Amino acid sequence: MDYDRFLNKELTGVPESPLSELARKSQHFKDAISLGRGEPDFDMPDFLKDAVTTALKANQTHYAPAGSVPGLDEAIAAKLEKENGISVDAKSGVVVGAGSSPVLQAAIAALLNPGEEIMLMDPTYMMYIPAVRTLHGRCNFVPVFEENNFAPTKEDLEKRYTKKTKALLINSPCNPTGGVFTKAEVEEIADFAVEKDLIVISDEIYEYIVYDGAKHYSIAALDGLGERTITVNGFSKAYAMTGLRVGYAAGPSELMKQIFKFNYFGHICACVPSMYAALEGLRNPKSRAFVAKQVKEYDRRRKFIVKKLNDIGLATRMPQGAFYAFARCDPFDRNSYSFVNRILDETHVVATPGSAFGPHGEGFVRFSYATKYEQIEEAMERIDKLLACE
């Protein structure tokens, strides 16, 4: 039977994620080391596990009314006001969903009509691309450059703007580059958005994971940007609860109303016990210490892996945030996909090709250091032995 005529042409045109492809391939190697996945290797802290257990024992296993558990929307709004300088209506300006990716997809769905564009910084987080394309929107890639900290300038944005551009999507601290936008860079993006009358989607999932005095700035906190910004965040990276799937979007009530509809029609609500863990994370002062402990260890790994990659010949800029090293592989192979497959085949180390993050990511490889220090050491030793003779 010919199924092509039944299928979404945009979806069939999107290749499989290299992460899933390489992870599946790595299962053939008993000694495989993954530096591919962007997932904390820390266990969720006990006080958050206790919140899940308490919710289960209290039979909090039914749908959440209005998509969220009591107090969570208010706690998110309070956090945004206190920590980010963002004011939203707790009753109508927050949408909670099953992870930040689904609510980000809901935001894209609420904004785009077929053929309209979202500007994506290139390299960009790989999941943004299929999210836009499968909703029949168009990705307008804005090349960003290593020498500019992988941040877009107003000139970069101006060059790519078209009349079909509806919004721009930013991610700082950034996956895959590890870049963190300065206040001046955020202000430049804001000025462009106001001039062109665009909506901004700001993915701030790595906001707490910064190094060397770098600071995260929320664009929605700037004058005039609150009314045109959708801030997306979640609990997976900070609280090491990736499998519990809780994220949120916050912004103007009129936009949130439409985002809520798409989110609700898609999955009604996030897992209820998971939402109680998220609420506990926002309220419990132990959360800060847990995050700080993770960042301290990420910093140790960051310094080691970047030095080793540079020693090996994979030129790597020191990341200021998140937990990724974005290394140049072009001295060894201009094709990042073939390079990471060779690395996997010959050293059993999983990495992610830069081409997965947009056209301008070619020539780079992303190494995640969200894994044990000893495994990173072993992975670097294997790659060094492979490439030493080249």
Per-residue H/E/C for 116-151: CEEEEEECCCCCHHHHHHHCCCEEEEEECCHHHCCC
> Are 230 and 107 within 8 A, CB to CB?
yes
**φ and ψ at residue 119, rounded to 5 degrees:** -75, 125
> Are 166 and 117 within 8 A, CB to CB?
yes
Global confidence as pTM: 0.95
pLDDT, tens digit, 9 for 90 and up, residues 130-180: 999 999 999 999 999 998 889 999 999 999 999 999 999 999 999 999 999
pLDDT, tens digit, 9 for 90 and up, residues 76-120: 999 999 999 999 999 999 999 999 999 999 999 999 999 999 999
CA distance 84 to 112: 27
Band the pLDDT of 2: cuts 50, 70, 90.
confident
Instruction: Please give the structure tokens belonging to residue 322.
Output: 């998140």
Angle between helices 100-111 and 253-267 (to 10 degrees): 120
- For residue 390, the model assigns a pLDDT of 67
> Are 121 and 150 within 8 A, CB to CB?
yes
Instruction: Please give the structure tokens belonging to residue 220.
Output: 């929605």
Q: What letters, b where the CB count within 10 A reaches 16 and e where it falls short, cover 218-255?
A: bbbbbeebbebbbbbbbbbbbbbbbebbbbbbbbbeeb
pLDDT, tens digit, 9 for 90 and up, residues 260-280: 999 999 899 999 999 999 999
CATH architecture of 47-285: 3-Layer(aba) Sandwich (3.40)
pLDDT > 80? residue 14: no
pLDDT > 90? residue 65: no
> Are 253 and 93 within 8 A, CB to CB?
yes
Residue 232's nearest CA partner among 213, 214, 266, 255 is: 255
CA distance 376 to 369: 7
For the chain, residues classed under CATH 3.90.1150.10 are 4-44+288-387
Neighbours of 302 (CB within 10 A): 25
CA distance 247 to 67: 12
CA distance 35 to 277: 28
Within 13 A of 135's CA, how many CA atoms are on the CB side?
Answer: 23
For the chain, residues classed under CATH 3.40.640.10 are 47-285
Residue 10 CB burial class (10 angstroms; 0-12, 13-18, ≥19): middle
CA distances from 35 to 86, 135, 368, 380 (A): 35, 30, 5, 10
pLDDT > 90? residue 386: yes
> Are 191 and 223 within 8 A, CB to CB?
no
CATH superfamily of 4-44+288-387: Aspartate Aminotransferase, domain 1 (3.90.1150.10)
pLDDT, tens digit, 9 for 90 and up, residues 181-209: 999 999 999 999 999 999 999 999 999 99
pLDDT > 90? residue 22: no
